[in-house]
Amino acid sequence: MADPTKTATLTFGEKTLELPIHSPTIGPDAVDISKLYAQGDVFTYDPGFTSTAACRSTITFIDGDKGELLHRGYPIDQLAAKSHYLEVCYLLLYGELPTGAQLEDFERRITQHTMLHEQMQHFFRGFRRDAHPMAIMVGVVGAMSAFYHDSTDISDPWQREVASIRLIAKMPTIAAWAFKYHVGQPFVYPRNDLDYASNFMRMCFSVPAEEYEVNPILSRAMDRIFTLHADHEQNASTSTVRLASSSGANPFACIAAGIACLWGPAHGGANQACLEMLKEIGTPDRIPEYIARAKDKNDPFRLMGFGHRVYKNFDPRATVMKESADEVLDLLGVENNPILQVAKELEAAALADPYFAEKKLFPNVDFYSGIILEAMGFPTSMFTPIFAVSRTVGWISQWKEMLIDPEQRIGRPRQLYMGAEMRDYVDVENR
């Protein structure tokens, strides 16, 4: 509720309005402009909604200046170091860390829903053999509403719960099958005796010709990638999910919309852009040249994977991700991979350069996650699908929160119209 002791006075022309102010648990106050048009006959103009709070939320908080990311109040570095992905999923979905019994029950429910309806294989095989995995995921996730009719009624709390479990459980299978289809290998079914991350890796890299053993270091690194990307407040894809759900769309359509938004290179493709930059650099001896270009304001080149649009200090996820990157590279080596050689030396060179320290351009989570996925053997086309697997729980948590928020209504942004004024139609022979 608004703080009755706080108001903002807006004066324009001969009108003066007193606008309520809402105070959050943490972060800046928010001026309530919900009745601005009704009372003042004006809109606000905020491209990108970067100064607009569109909802109340209790899920995630980011302070970019301090480099803080909290899930339900818990710092992300603590969660990534001490917890694991499904426990963080429970926290995001239900608001508190689970007891041992609650976590065991939750993990069991997720594990028992990892298989896809067998007929869904036809959707994968309907795509061209060279289809991008994200294109497949958008189509298949949207099509889930055609198979799971018992979890599309958003007014039913039980159906919302079933849809949530199904999406979190089946998303790794969908992503892994998209990968298998992309590389021309047979689909691998999930196994109930494996944890979430290990199951995903086995579905991606196992083949019928031989047994596949998941290395625990790689599995832990994958689990951390999932954990560190689970939710990130009101970003573009999360806002897309909320906007889609505001119309009453079914949960599978809403999550498919989120995947489509995530596909954009300015959002989910950051770690892919980082790897493409490393490929462009090519060899370690060219690093000084590219660092010099990054410092040149007249050169369009930018170091991808350094700094962050939100975090003005450091990315709190990067420290934990660096630890996993070091473990993975120690395990797999970089001797035969020039991209990873460039990555290691670029990281060292940038961290030692005062220019990057002054500009606070530290390696971010995308830099390290890209290195890890490259070392594991994933093509860059799979980086964003893996991001989608991670972010599914965040989208669902935000979706569920919105549906029970009495203040929410269908999204309908306004515009500053700059087109032609009203004019009469002219018959074609007179134009």
Element (H, E) at 318: helix 318-332
Residue 48 in any domain: the answer is: yes
Q: Is residue 73 located within the same domain as residue 45?
A: no
Longest dimension (CA), the chain: 79
The whole-number pLDDT of residue 3 equals 66
Residue 60 in any domain: the answer is: no
Q: Name the catalytic one among 132, 366, 405, 424.
A: 366
Residue 344 lies in domain: 68-407
The whole-number pLDDT of residue 76 equals 95
The SS3 assignment for 149 reads helix
Q: Is residue 206 located within the same domain as residue 131?
A: yes
Render the burial of 63-94: b for 16+ CB within 10 Å, e for the rest. Answer: beeebbbbbbebebbebbeebbbbbbbbbbbe
Q: Is residue 113 located within the same domain as residue 17?
A: no
At 158-204, the pLDDT tens digits run: 999 999 999 999 999 999 999 999 999 999 999 999 999 999 999 99
At how many degrees (to 10) do helices 338-352 and 270-281 cross? 100
At how many degrees (to 10) do helices 383-403 and 216-228 cross? 50
Q: Is residue 306 located within the same domain as residue 211?
A: yes
The Cα 387–Cα 200 span in angstroms is: 13
Residue 419 in any domain: the answer is: no
The whole-number pLDDT of residue 354 equals 87
The pTM of the full predicted model, rounded to 2 decimals, is 0.92
The Cα 276–Cα 298 span in angstroms is: 21
Residue ranges of the chain with pLDDT lower than 50? Answer: none
Contact (Cβ atoms closer than 8 angstroms) between residue 56 and residue 20 = no
The Cα 173–Cα 177 span in angstroms is: 6
From the number of C-beta atoms within 10 Å of its C-beta (0-12, 13-18, 19+), residue 414 rates as exposed
Q: Is residue 48 located within the same domain as residue 72?
A: no
In sequence order, what are the residues at sequence separation of 6 or more whose Cβ sits closer than 8 angstroms to the Cβ of residue 340? 329, 334, 371, 374, 375
Q: Is residue 32 located within the same domain as residue 91?
A: no
- What is each CA distance from 6 to 23, 53, 267, in whole angstroms? 9, 17, 36
The whole-number pLDDT of residue 87 equals 98
Residue 425 in any domain: the answer is: no
Indicate if the alpha-carbon torsion angle 34, 36, 39, 41 is positive or negative. Answer: negative
Q: Is 308 a catalytic residue?
A: yes
- Looking at residue 232, its amino acid is H
Contact (Cβ atoms closer than 8 angstroms) between residue 392 and residue 110 = no
Residue 63 in any domain: the answer is: no
Q: Is residue 135 located within the same domain as residue 20?
A: no
Q: Is residue 313 located within the same domain as residue 385?
A: yes
The whole-number pLDDT of residue 422 equals 96
Supply the CATH number for residue 340's domain: 1.10.580.10
Residue 323 in any domain: the answer is: yes
The whole-number pLDDT of residue 4 equals 67
Q: Is residue 81 located within the same domain as residue 199?
A: yes
The Cα 197–Cα 138 span in angstroms is: 21
- Looking at residue 112, its amino acid is Q
| Domains: count for the chain | 2
Q: Name the catalytic one among 195, 308, 326, 353.
A: 308
Supply the CATH number for residue 25's domain: 2.20.28.60
Q: Is 366 a catalytic residue?
A: yes
The SS3 assignment for 20 reads strand
Residue 429 in any domain: the answer is: no
The whole-number pLDDT of residue 1 equals 59
Residue 341 in any domain: the answer is: yes
Q: Is residue 130 located within the same domain as residue 12?
A: no
Q: Is residue 151 located within the same domain as residue 44?
A: no
Q: Is residue 44 located within the same domain as residue 168?
A: no
- Looking at residue 155, its amino acid is S
Phi, psi of 10 (to 5 degrees): -115, 120
